[in-house]
Amino acid sequence: MAIDRIGNKCCGCRACLQKCKFDAISFVTDTYGFEYPEIDSTRCVNCGACEKVCPIINDTYSSDTGLCGMAYALDAKTKYNGSSGGLFGVFAESIIAQGGVVFGAAFDENLKLKTTKAETLEELIPLYKSKYLLCDTSYQFSAIETELKKNRIVLYCSSPCQISALKLYLQKEYDNLLTLDFVCHGVGSQSLFDKSIAYTEEKEGLEIKAVTLRYKKANASSHYYYAYSYLKDGKFHERSDLYFSFPYYNAYCKQLVCRDSCYDCKFAARERVGDITIGDFHSIEKYHPDIDRFAGVSMFLVNTPKGQKWFDLIKEKIHWRKMDKETIYKNNRFSDEVVIPSEQPAFRESIANEPFETTVKRFLKPSRDWKKLIYYKAPKFLRKIIMKLR
């Protein structure tokens, strides 16, 4: 199978681009904003290297899950910095403390999401938080390989497909590589995110400098707040709100923006590719009523002996409780069974053929979700009553 004939099964990991020695592969954007590989036939020598590193064609599953449960960082700052319980931060800080290096997703100065290296706690900050769009890994797998060959401890945290891609790219196991995959619900495109930024800037008359999805707001009514810092009249300000008011985030929460491969994802399964799997645990209060889900709590699965070794090294820095595997599996996405929203085809066609403002008015106006808006704006005691009646 030629790599560019995978079609919409492609997850956009860019392992093929990074492995090709002949610069025969580039990534092009389709009419819906998604990036796919394209082969230059004048450069390609049919060596097959691109196919050998494709995670869609090949499998890299780790061993069966062992220890699993719920957890959150004991350090308040580390917990706050994370989207959920701050487990990524605990592992990352431990790696850096031992002279290691961390690779994860961060926005650059132009708000492009890229695989980024952190060697200090300060450099680690941009890697925190969920981003919900495809991360550009271009030429970072070789950077990871370089650090591994220096015998440095490396932590790579990413979506399962990208971790699988890295393992295939490396073509060997490294004892000094720790991989954290997260329970992924799909990724959207950088193109659509860029359009949302431009739309918001024009509408509000400002220049956005940084965006935080999964912003932890005091007395939150939802996990899905966002915040952005912006430059206006020469001064920096910050604004936060529910996901409805930022088009990209609204579309993501409605499951309208994901790649085709995300709706039928081979990695949304009980078999995992990372040494450790982390994810949200929004329903924790059903099992442990004493834990505030809005303060931040994660689920975790230890998938390999290496993962268990690292978990043992950091467990004094977290509050954790062992839980049954089936409980973990049923409270997050561990299946490829996803119902594509009925509006998704029309949404895509609108993105491809209409001004972005028209798409927002048709599909993403906050007023379309007025019932949820009323619920989220209601006092906490009233929300609790509503939840009990559901």
SS3 347: helix
Considering only 90-94, 215-219, 249-253, 368-372, which range has the smallest mean pLDDT? Answer: 368-372
Is residue 303 a contact partner of residue 292, using CB atoms and an 8 Å limit? no
Alpha carbon 38 to its chain's center: 25
Alpha carbon 129 to its chain's center: 8
Task: For 361-378, write each residue's pLDDT tens digit.
Answer: 999 998 888 788 777 877
Domain boundaries, the chain: 3-52, 68-187+257-329, 190-256+342-372
Strands 177-182 and 207-215: unpaired
Q: Report the pLDDT value the prediction gives residue 219, as an integer from 0 to 100.
A: 78
Q: Report the pLDDT value the prediction gives residue 93, as an integer from 0 to 100.
A: 98
**pLDDT surpasses 80 at 2:** no
Calpha distance 346→329 (Å, rounded): 32
Task: For 226-246, write each residue's pLDDT tens digit.
Answer: 999 998 788 889 999 999 999
Is residue 257 a contact partner of residue 351, using CB atoms and an 8 Å limit? no
Task: For 37-59, write each residue's pLDDT tens digit.
Answer: 999 999 999 999 999 999 999 98
| Cα distances (Å, whole numbers) of residue 340 to 19, 254, 260, 263 | 33, 10, 10, 7
Residue by residue, what is the 3-state secondary structure of 348-369? HHHHHHCCHHHHHHHHHCHHHH
Structure tokens, 194: 């860029």
Q: Report the pLDDT value the prediction gives residue 338, as an integer from 0 to 100.
A: 84
* pLDDT above 70: percentage of residues in the chain: 97
**Average pLDDT across the chain, whole number:** 93
Task: For 332-362, write each residue's pLDDT tens digit.
Answer: 999 877 889 999 999 999 999 999 999 999 9
Q: Can you state the percent helix, strand and coil of the chain, rounding each to 5?
A: 40, 20, 40
Calpha distance 57→175 (Å, rounded): 25
**pLDDT surpasses 90 at 250:** yes
Provide the pLDDT confidence category of residue 222 given band limits of 50, 70 and 90: confident
Calpha distance 130→250 (Å, rounded): 15
Q: Report the pLDDT value the prediction gives residue 220, as an integer from 0 to 100.
A: 78
**pLDDT surpasses 60 at 1:** no
SS3 101: strand
Q: Report the pLDDT value the prediction gives residue 387, as an integer from 0 to 100.
A: 67
**pLDDT surpasses 90 at 77:** yes
Q: Report the pLDDT value the prediction gives residue 331, as an integer from 0 to 100.
A: 92
Provide the β-strand partners of residue 200. none
Specify the CATH number for 3-52; select among 3.30.930.10, 3.40.50.10490, 3.30.420.10, 3.30.70.20.
3.30.70.20
**pLDDT surpasses 80 at 82:** yes
- Residue 381 identity: F
* pTM score above 0.85: yes
Provide the pLDDT confidence category of residue 142 given band limits of 50, 70 and 90: very high
